[in-house]
Amino acid sequence: MDDKFWRLLLARGFIRLSSMMFAIFFMWRLITQYNSIFIVSLIPALSIVGYVIVSIPEGYILDKFDRPKILFLSSVILLIIYIPLLFYSSLLLIYVIDLLSSVFFFISGDIFYTLIKDIVEKEKLSEAMSFNVISRSIFEIVGISLGGISAA
């Protein structure tokens, strides 16, 4: 497997890490601030809505446009989406960012799997998927841990 695969895997890992940190930190923050399970449960609910929104046009977008450019653009947009939370974090802003970040998170995930098929040779595809599972687990654990530490 070449450098493209490892860079792609690392980029996807950091996207997953930021998503986990966001979810854990703001779910904990909302539960302590509002003491309402309903308000907190809207974060995963809006993530599902984001997935539904993107699932309809995504196949067309991935077939029509350059996938690496879409991945880069979605990663940059994700970074820009999270920046307002450094300065201001109202309930509405958290919900909007959750919805938007889930859209771009799912886009980057689907692009990741299609790019792996393009980059990795067929005989090494199962090895690449194994590395993906390992890295996904590591980045999720680290993201959950950092989100929890940040909330504490």
Is the full-model pTM beyond 0.85? no
Q: Which of 96, 104, 109, 99 is nearest to 73 (CA)?
A: 104
> What's the distance, CA 113 to chain centroid?
14
From first to last of its 152 residues, what are the pLDDT tens digits of the chain?
Answer: 788 889 888 888 988 898 899 989 999 989 999 998 899 999 989 889 988 888 878 777 777 888 888 888 888 898 899 999 889 889 999 999 999 999 888 888 888 888 888 888 889 989 999 999 999 999 999 999 999 998 87
Q: Which of 84, 86, 76 is nearest to 150 (CA)?
A: 86
